[in-house]
Amino acid sequence: MKRLFLALVVFLIALVFSARGSYAGGYAIVVKDQTLAKPDWAEVVNTLKAKHQGKVFVYDLGVSQVLDSLKEMSPKYVCFVLEPLDSRDYVVKTIHRLTRELDDDPYGDAIWGIVTGYTPQDALRIVSISGFRVRKVLAGTSAGWLPYVQEGIATSEGTYNKMWVKYPDGTIVDTIKCPTDRTPFLVEKLNSNQYDIFITSGHGNVNRWQLHYPTSDKEGFFRARDGQVYGDPYEGDDININSTNPKIYCGLGNCYIGKILQVEDSMVLAWIHSGGAYMYTGYVTPEGRNSYQLGGTAAYFFVQNQCTWPEAFFLSNQAIMFDLENQTPGSIPEDKDYAALYGDPALDVRIEPVRDPLYTSEISVRSGADRDTVTVRITMTEDGRPGFTGKWGNRHPIVMLPCRVENPQVEYTDAYRAVVTDNFALLYVWKQGDPDLTKGEEREVVFTTTTRLSTDVEETPQFFLPCPIKPMLFQAYPNPVSRWTTIGYRIPSPTFVSLNIYDVVGRLVRPLVATSQQSGYYTAGWDGKDSFGQEVASGVYIYRLLAENFTGSRKLVFLK
């Protein structure tokens, strides 16, 4: 019932945005003219067009040729229909950059995916379903997401005979042994058509995955040959993987496994052709100690947002961009342009949840004459660390907006920093060294946005709050104020705090705070009255924060 209510709230918010905002969706299909001229590939394009009411963009030399046309459309999704040898690593890097260039901010502007296949019939098959749910996980690595799925098996790539089994009743057992060479064991599990996601890590390449890490030792390989993915055990004959149930293949823990060099021995194409991969993710470059995309995608999919796999892939890349710009403690992302997602970017593939995500998110909208006011809030469902916790760990909370917003301007946040783009809000609320956020704890960002009903509003630059290496004074909300406004500030260490209201010539109007405070977030209210309880005249006022050696001031407009 709780999930149904939240879904209804999000639907109603989307209706408000659709009515007043600039954009409610859109699906772009990018294809080469020579590919579109081939009937089998044209059928793939036409299927996507009918499925998503998509718009087709055709190029002859490179995908960058459609940039200006995509800017005009501002789609939510961009699907690149590519023949196998058009899906090279330089194309993946180009797509990453292209989908960040649809507007002026440095972040991604569209959820994207590459649709390809060993044959065009493979591509047609993976775009012909509406979606599926991930209930059962199989992993060739010690994946930590078993608590978030109904059941599954994770095996260790570094310790022989070690595995973890999750049962439907929620029990996780680590005392059952798997075979020393897991190759036949994992092939058998995949061919049973019971598993909805397969996760690998360790050494990989364009045509193989090495089961044991760091050396192969007594285990075998998964290999690709002529569109067939198969197991090559340490001893014995090869075993073909012929799995037909739709699944995600997550190879983001491997080097090069998302790269296509030639059709005949590509892991990407073989998994799509014979392994049942309707979603395939992997690197087109070496995967290293500072790789970021792999853990972020899984974090947003399983632990945090519990969104679709393409959305999780997209959000992880935006977290990379944020941490690169802000030099977030502990994170050194090296892979912003080097991970590939193969599949329909609008495919509804997500986990069937068995527990709440790390936090819930809410979006509320208040209409205005020229600008709407939007509040995005997260609430912790358990104690935890919603921020970069390591290569395989959590990431910053990011909330996808129900539609595109125009000219967003941050007015208030109690996060370290908040970024609002046209399609998402990111809250930097936890960094390494901070204590856990506790269950029930909230963080929010309030921003305003122009609407399509206002045609004479000038472009408003985005306003970012700096990382609080010193006390922070936030924008009062609302501002202008006629009856009551709230002023927020943050203190990083215990100190004496003074917060006062002054008129424009510097005369004290009203003291609001004069006390010692511990580190944390605080708010103070002002009702537009002076120290004698008299309502002040309309005009501009200054509120000033003094804390430690910090002095911060902002303007406030009072209107009767």
Q: What fold, for 23-126?
A: Rossmann fold (3.40.50)
Residues of the chain with pLDDT > 90, as a percent, come to 69
CB 152 within 8 A of CB 143: no
Domain ranges of the chain: 23-126, 131-279, 471-560
The pLDDT value recorded for residue 521 is 66
Bridge partners (DSSP) of residue 208 are: 205, 223
What is the C-alpha to C-alpha distance for residues 327 and 306, in angstroms, rounded to an integer? 26
Rounded to an integer, the average pLDDT of 504-528 is 86
Q: What fold, for 471-560?
A: Immunoglobulin-like (2.60.40)
How far is residue 461 from each of residues 80, 312, 410, 458, measured CA to CA in Å?
A: 31, 28, 10, 10
Judge if 23-126 and 471-560 fold alike in CATH terms. no
The pLDDT value recorded for residue 461 is 31
- Residue 42 has phi, psi (to 5 degrees) of -65, -30
**Cross-sheet strand order for the sheet of 371-380:** 359-366, 371-380, 442-450, 406-413
Cα 501 vs. chain centroid, distance in angstroms?
A: 40
The pLDDT value recorded for residue 290 is 86
Mean pLDDT over each residue of the chain, to the nearest integer: 88
What is the C-alpha to C-alpha distance for residues 89 and 357, in angstroms, rounded to an integer? 34
The pLDDT value recorded for residue 245 is 94
> What is the residue whose two structure tokens read 């009856």?
483
The pLDDT value recorded for residue 9 is 42
Q: How many C-beta atoms surround the C-beta of residue 174 within 10 A?
A: 11
The pLDDT value recorded for residue 25 is 59
Question: Who wins on pLDDT, 462 or 209?
Answer: 209
pLDDT digits 0-9 by tens, 53-103: 999 999 999 999 999 999 999 999 999 999 998 878 889 999 999 999 999
pLDDT digits 0-9 by tens, 185-212: 999 999 999 999 999 999 999 999 999 9
Rounded to an integer, the average pLDDT of 291-318 is 94
- Interstrand relation of 495-503 and 539-547 (parallel, antiparallel or unpaired): antiparallel
What is the C-alpha to C-alpha distance for residues 510 and 131, in angstroms, rounded to an integer? 59
Please return the burial class of 58, using the count of CB atoms within 10 Å of its CB with bins 0-12, 13-18 and 19+: middle
Per-residue pLDDT band at 517 (split at 50, 70, 90): confident
Residue 347 has pLDDT above 50, yes or no: yes
Residue 51 has pLDDT above 60, yes or no: yes
Please return the burial class of 165, using the count of CB atoms within 10 Å of its CB with bins 0-12, 13-18 and 19+: middle
CB 423 within 8 A of CB 385: no
The pLDDT value recorded for residue 483 is 78
The pLDDT value recorded for residue 547 is 86
pTM: 0.78
